[in-house]
Amino acid sequence: MRQQYADIIVDITQEKLDRTFQYKVPQKLVGKLEEGTVVEVPFGNGSRIIKGYVISLSEEPKIDPGRLKEIHGISIKEVGAQENIIALAAWIRKQYGGTMIQAIKTVIPVKQKQRSKEKRTICLSISKEEAEEKLGIFQKKHQTARARLLEALMEEEELPYELVTGKLNVTSQVIKALEEQQIIQCSSVTVYRNPIHVEGKKEYTIRLNEEQEAIVRDILLHWDDENDRTSLIHGITGSGKTEIYMELIAHAIAMGGQAIVLIPEIALTYQTVMRFYRRFGERISIMHSRLSPGERYDQFERAKKGEIDVMIGPRSALFTPFPNLKMIIIDEEHEDTYQSETVPRYHARETAIRRAQMENAKVVLGSATPSLEAYYRAQNGEYRLYTLKRRAKESRLPDVEIVDLREELRSGNRSVLSVALREKIEDRLEKKQQVMLFLNRRGYAGFLCCRSCGHVIKCPHCDVSLAIHNNGKLVCHYCGYEQEQPKLCPTCGSPFLSGFRVGTQQIEEVVQREFPKARILRMDLDTTREKDGHARILSSFADHEADILIGTQMIVKGHDFPNVTLMGVIAADLSLHAGTYRAAEKTFQLLTQAAGRAGRGEQKGEVIIQTYDPEHYSIVNAARQDYESFYDQEMMYRMMAGYPPCAHLMEIHASCADKDQLDMGMNYLKQYLQQIIPKKAMVSVIGPADEQIAKINDMYRKVMYIKYKEQQMLLKIKERVEQYIGANEGYRTILIQFDMN
């Protein structure tokens, strides 16, 4: 058998995570090691035995094999939080690609120099009588600094180090000298930065209603079941999901465990944090993207030491190294932010479920508009489904009206505001109520739409909208299909074909022209660029410093404005034609969320949805807040077109500074794929095609799709592709990323 070698990281708390050491694998361990295995290795000159993690295995020594040491054995010490997290990193690497180092960096925050602040103190290590004696000696010798320190310590048992060197003006040399004579003693206590600063804790008073109680009871019933399933709570906004989460967490804590709560960053508001704080007090901690790496590190250290019970935060909070993790909650489970944008592109939902399996914890997902994947699994019985249909506090759902923009055009109105919406805005301004105008230009890629009949030009092969490219052609981002822009609508012959290109700024101008007295705020990428721009606009609107808030999807998530009684959706179809198979799902989610924004207070709310496609099921069902009907129709489409969750879809994203090289690389890759995939396997390889944004930062980008009904096969293909790319020079300069579903 050939000699095997293993790359090993010996200290993951080090700043240089990239530093690996190669070791020989002894014959007795061949076949027993894998990425993430904890081993014992001889290290340094004295070859003392320390713990390390296997990062990769190979048959190639990097230096003269004679100089390599041999792995001592597999560590049999009890696995702790850290080992669990590393094992999770190994799984992430296998599942989502990238290197083991990238995976480890994802799960472990790098320790920084500025780490936890230390509070150093000084106290006497001799009795008062002895101190008295020493003091006399110092005074006699005119050692005034020593005398000063001793006197102070005889009055005050313990003094902060800084106070001694500062106010008392005693140098560190003097302190050291006294410490060596064993007269005093210095010690340091680590002070962790807690990012939450709050006022007094209030009494917790809410009692769950019957529906909530039943869900909690049922989840607890399955608590000791080792093969328990993931739970999905489908409940409209305000139905009391958060209260359920907190009740479950309280149980987890009572059992001596800890809990992680994932929340999309944008919903991580002060109010949410305060609710958890009121219930759990100082035993919670939060993570958000504005924490410095040092603060992040501190939070993880506190978790490891058992100083907190609950960690609340976005995606990365999932890797909190709790010693006895009992529960992971993922609120707003459908949000895109749960997928990482950088390698490894892990999905927090899948990764949470994996972690829970490894550590015997529970996963509870919640959403008002579950992702198709999650709901599909709930329907299959893979998840347990719970439904909440009513709001916990009496509060009426808003009235929703769909306005047909084709009719508006026919009656001569070419403005972005329909007659109905304009009238209602006027009415609210008179009543001193507030209005939100929402432009859902998510994943917006300039599609071609007939303004007379609403027809949108689609790809004949993939059933997604074609995107308008700068060269004037229409292009499909799945298969690369191209065609010229037609002059007349293929359905009704109208010449009013236009690329729908409207932005928040144009809407602001129109609205300001129509309502010169209205105070308008705009929230989009431009106005929120600076730090806290986001929060500033929202709080200004909440204080009624403006009458109308115009914005992109940022305005529809998670904020309650009791005085908003009208929500206008400018062009609901925009997100419908984003050119991805998930466009209808995203549209439904956004419209449902938008509708939920109006009428959160005393007055009843109204919602106007303007669209060129008023019969589309995502729009009709969002207006009715009917998730099940939407789901049934969308599943039919996914089934027929072979998209997830009915099939699995792996995306291969490639980018390169050299366009020709990228084209060649992708074409060869396609040929290779066709070679390795058996003809009758029914695996479809689609593309390569340009990405929606074909060039970013001078890097050309292409994508290829592989569809199949089982994920296992796609993972195998991914492994082969990784080997192929690794073995071919031509891919050196091409960055390749995989994306599963």
> Residues interacting with Zn ion, by CB under 5 A?
450, 452-453, 455, 459, 461-462, 476, 478-479, 481, 489, 491-492, 494
Bridge partners of 475, per DSSP, are 467, 482
The continuous run of DSSP H or E covering 534 comes out as: helix 533-542
Contact 371, 585 (CB under 8 A): yes
Q: What is the Cα–Cα distance from 179 to 149, expressed in whole angstroms?
A: 12
Contact 62, 22 (CB under 8 A): yes
CB of 202 to ligand ADP, least distance (A): 13
**Nearer Cβ to Zn ion, position 478 or 500?**
478
In single-letter form, the type of residue at position 171 comes to T
Q: What is the Cα–Cα distance from 634 to 582, expressed in whole angstroms?
A: 9
CB of 317 to ligand ADP, least distance (A): 18
Taking CB under 6 A as the criterion, which residues in 441-500 touch ligand ADP? Answer: none
Using CB under 6 A as the binding rule, whether residue 241 contacts ligand ADP is answered as: yes
Using CB under 6 A as the binding rule, whether residue 168 contacts ligand ADP is answered as: no
Q: Which does 462 bind (CB under 5 to 8 A by kind): ligand ADP, Zn ion, none?
A: Zn ion
Among 68, 208, 267, 657, the residue binding ligand ADP under the rule CB under 6 A is 208
> Which residue stretch of 66-74, 113-121, 238-246, 549-557 sits at the interface with ligand ADP (rule: CB under 6 A)?
238-246
**Nearer Cβ to Zn ion, position 446 or 503?**
446
Among 107, 312, 392, 554, the residue binding ligand ADP under the rule CB under 6 A is 392
The continuous run of DSSP H or E covering 642 comes out as: none
Using CB under 6 A as the binding rule, whether residue 242 contacts ligand ADP is answered as: yes
Among 195, 240, 344, 614, the residue binding ligand ADP under the rule CB under 6 A is 240
> Which residue stretch of 2-10, 200-208, 369-377, 443-451 sits at the interface with ligand ADP (rule: CB under 6 A)?
200-208
Cβ atoms within 10 Å, residue 77 = 9
Contact 449, 455 (CB under 8 A): yes
Q: What is the Cα–Cα distance from 9 to 22, expressed in whole angstroms?
A: 9
Q: What is the Cα–Cα distance from 504 to 530, expressed in whole angstroms?
A: 18
CA 615 to the chain's CA centroid: 33
Q: What is the Cα–Cα distance from 209 to 216, expressed in whole angstroms?
A: 11
Proportion of the chain in helix, strand, coil states, percent, rounded to 5 = 40, 25, 40
Pinpoint the alpha helices (H) of 371-450.
Answer: 372-380, 405-410, 419-430
Contact 547, 429 (CB under 8 A): yes
**Nearer Cβ to Zn ion, position 31 or 495?**
495
Using CB under 6 A as the binding rule, whether residue 371 contacts ligand ADP is answered as: no
- Coil, strand or helix at 270: helix
Taking CB under 6 A as the criterion, which residues in 620-639 touch ligand ADP? Answer: none
Contact characters 690-719, ligand ADP, x per CB under 6 A:
------------------------------
Q: Which does 587 bind (CB under 5 to 8 A by kind): ligand ADP, Zn ion, none?
A: none
Bridge partners of 702, per DSSP, are 654, 690
**Nearer Cβ to Zn ion, position 179 or 482?**
482
Backbone angles phi, psi at 457, to 5 degrees: -75, 125
> Which residue stretch of 12-20, 22-30, 167-175, 230-238 sits at the interface with ligand ADP (rule: CB under 6 A)?
230-238
Q: Which does 455 bind (CB under 5 to 8 A by kind): Zn ion, ligand ADP, none?
A: Zn ion
Cβ atoms within 10 Å, residue 117 = 11
Using CB under 6 A as the binding rule, whether residue 266 contacts ligand ADP is answered as: no
CA 127 to the chain's CA centroid: 56
CB of 208 to ligand ADP, least distance (A): 5
CB of 638 to Zn ion, least distance (A): 16
Among 237, 285, 465, 504, the residue binding ligand ADP under the rule CB under 6 A is 237
Q: Which does 494 bind (CB under 5 to 8 A by kind): ligand ADP, Zn ion, none?
A: Zn ion
**Nearer Cβ to ligand ADP, position 362 or 707?**
362
CA dihedral sign, ordered 59, 62, 67, 68 = negative
**Nearer Cβ to ligand ADP, position 104 or 392?**
392
CA 540 to the chain's CA centroid: 27
Q: Which does 185 bind (CB under 5 to 8 A by kind): Zn ion, ligand ADP, none?
A: none
**Nearer Cβ to Zn ion, position 396 or 461?**
461
Cβ atoms within 10 Å, residue 214 = 12
> Which residue stretch of 220-228, 235-243, 580-588, 645-653 sits at the interface with ligand ADP (rule: CB under 6 A)?
235-243
Q: What is the Cα–Cα distance from 312 to 305, expressed in whole angstroms?
A: 17
Residues near ligand ADP, by CB under 6 A: 206-209, 212, 235, 237-243, 392-393
